[in-house]
């Protein structure tokens, strides 16, 4: 296996507080420039305080890093593995500085967001641009393609739902509805997601494709064609701004009123059990289901599943081969097709205040 021209892999993530006193400063980092009142930050902060003021995401990234290093080593790949965050320690710029000190020359970047949108792709590319500006003469950075439809991500989701179905009482199992859940975003952000030449809407279309793929695999495995829905959680914008709907709690109300008796909540939009899963689904949505008398279970995220970890290696090697000018076979499932190595100009546009971004077909695009 040959990872050249890359001599390092960077895990780029969102970050999260690790103690109560970190919570408000972390939320200030997340919302900087958006004019969010402090009282709203304190309200959201209660979600974290309910878990001891500690987000699970950093611990999950540490576990993922350990699994990733072991996977690369077992494949005979001698490559440095680093970790940087957008909003909390270890900050991306600090990691960039360390890579420079370590003599790293070229880095493949894997983000913990699988889908295309401003907040899940373009904003990370802006972060990479800022980090390069902050660390002159640092390593070259190449962001790996979006991987929402890579089998190493999708197959663990399928198995997670199959396992969750077995947790349901036998009398409810066959009639259970699959409710796929992802992070809501403003409708305008969804409309601008993906390349402008493709007409936008990539975020929603990609989720629908994965949901349909998983549902199809469930039918293959169980012999039962189940109804399924795509719903949303974690809305945080101004009330007058339209966001993707329905909210998962509102949808559970609708399902219960229509006679549904059992659901599997599948957090298809998330790669691990971080705060949106731990609070929005495991706490809030489960409480809604209990109040409604719905039999509900939540399926596992990909987490540190060996197939998901190996998918990062696969993405690294396919990009390395492409950079060397060699033929590349790219693993995908579903109907969307293969994503792009370099984001097209204007992809997942920043509608609020356009800023330069790295890793596009056009410099700063």
What tens digit of pLDDT does each residue of 153-209 get? Answer: 999 999 999 999 999 999 999 999 999 999 999 999 999 999 999 999 999 999 999
Peptide bond into 5 cis (omega under 30): yes
Comparison of pLDDT for 239 and 10, the residue scoring more: 10
Please answer whether residues 342 and 361 qualify as being in contact, where contact means their C-beta atoms are separated by less than 8 angstroms: yes
pLDDT digits (tens, 9 = 90+) for 131-144: 999 999 999 999 99
Give the mean pLDDT of 57-80: 97
What's the confidence (pLDDT) of residue 41? 79
Of the candidates 140, 146, 175, the residue with the CA atom closest to the CA atom of residue 295:
175
What's the confidence (pLDDT) of residue 50? 87
pLDDT digits (tens, 9 = 90+) for 213-231: 999 999 999 999 999 999 9
| Predicted confidence (pLDDT) at residue 238 exceeds the cutoff of 90 | no
What's the confidence (pLDDT) of residue 122? 97
Give the mean pLDDT of 331-336: 97
Question: Considering the chain, what is the average pLDDT of its residues?
Answer: 95
What's the confidence (pLDDT) of residue 240? 86
Of the candidates 208, 209, 227, the residue with the CA atom closest to the CA atom of residue 219:
227
| Predicted confidence (pLDDT) at residue 302 exceeds the cutoff of 90 | yes
Give the mean pLDDT of 69-73: 98
**Is-same-fold flag (8-147+304-323; 151-298)?**
yes
What's the confidence (pLDDT) of residue 140? 97
pLDDT digits (tens, 9 = 90+) for 255-283: 999 999 999 999 999 999 999 999 999 99
Which CATH number applies to 8-147+304-323? 3.40.50.1400
pTM score: 0.96
What's the confidence (pLDDT) of residue 34? 67
What's the confidence (pLDDT) of residue 31? 81
pLDDT digits (tens, 9 = 90+) for 36-62: 777 777 877 888 888 998 999 999 999
Give the mean pLDDT of 99-105: 98
> What fold, for 151-298?
Rossmann fold (3.40.50)
| Predicted confidence (pLDDT) at residue 99 exceeds the cutoff of 90 | yes
| Cα 83 from Cα 64, distance rounded (Å) | 10
Give the mean pLDDT of 341-352: 95
Of the candidates 360, 340, 353, the residue with the CA atom closest to the CA atom of residue 202:
340
What's the confidence (pLDDT) of residue 294? 98
What's the confidence (pLDDT) of residue 35? 66
| Predicted confidence (pLDDT) at residue 250 exceeds the cutoff of 80 | yes
| Predicted confidence (pLDDT) at residue 69 exceeds the cutoff of 80 | yes
Per-residue confidence band for 90, with pLDDT thresholds at 50, 70 and 90 = very high
Instruction: Spell out the domain ranges in the chain.
Output: 8-147+304-323, 151-298
């Amino acid at each position: 296996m040959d990872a050249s021209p890359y001599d390092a892999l960077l895990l780029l993530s969102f970050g999260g507080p690790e103690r109560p006193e970190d919570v408000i400063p972390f939320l200030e980092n997340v919302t900087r420039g958006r004019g969010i009142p402090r009282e709203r930050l304190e309200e959201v902060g209660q979600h974290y305080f309910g878990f001891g003021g500690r987000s699970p995401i950093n611990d999950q990234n540490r576990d993922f890093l350990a699994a990733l290093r072991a996977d690369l080593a077992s494949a005979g790949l001698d490559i440095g593995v680093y970790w940087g965050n957008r909003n909390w320690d270890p900050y991306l710029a600090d990691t960039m500085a360390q890579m420079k000190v370590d003599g790293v020359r070229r880095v493949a970047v894997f983000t913990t967001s699988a889908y295309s949108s401003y907040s899940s792709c373009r904003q990370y590319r802006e972060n990479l641009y800022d980090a390069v500006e902050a660390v002159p003469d640092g390593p070259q950075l190449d962001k790996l393609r979006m991987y929402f439809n890579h089998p190493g991500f999708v197959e663990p989701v399928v198995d997670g739902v199959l396992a969750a179905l077995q947790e349901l009482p036998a009398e409810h199992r066959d009639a259970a509805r699959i409710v796929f859940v992802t992070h809501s975003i403003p409708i305008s952000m969804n409309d601008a997601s993906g390349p402008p030449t493709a007409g936008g809407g990539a975020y929603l279309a990609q989720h629908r494709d994965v949901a349909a793929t998983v549902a199809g695999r469930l039918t293959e495995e169980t012999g039962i064609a189940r109804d399924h829905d795509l719903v949303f959680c974690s809305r945080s914008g101004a009330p007058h701004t339209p966001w993707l709907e329905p909210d998962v709690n509102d949808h559970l109300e609708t399902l219960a009123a229509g006679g549904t008796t059992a659901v599997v909540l599948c957090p298809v939009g998330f790669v691990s059990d971080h705060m949106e899963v731990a609070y929005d689904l495991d706490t809030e949505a489960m409480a809604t289901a209990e109040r409604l008398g719905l039999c509900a279970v939540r399926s596992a995220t990909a987490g540190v599943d060996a197939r998901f970890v190996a998918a990062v290696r696969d993405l690294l090697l396919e990009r390395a081969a492409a950079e060397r000018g060699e033929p590349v076979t790219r693993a995908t499932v579903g109907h969307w097709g293969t994503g792009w190595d370099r984001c097209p100009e204007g992809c997942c546009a920043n509608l609020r205040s356009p800023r330069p971004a790295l890793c596009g077909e056009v410099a700063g695009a």
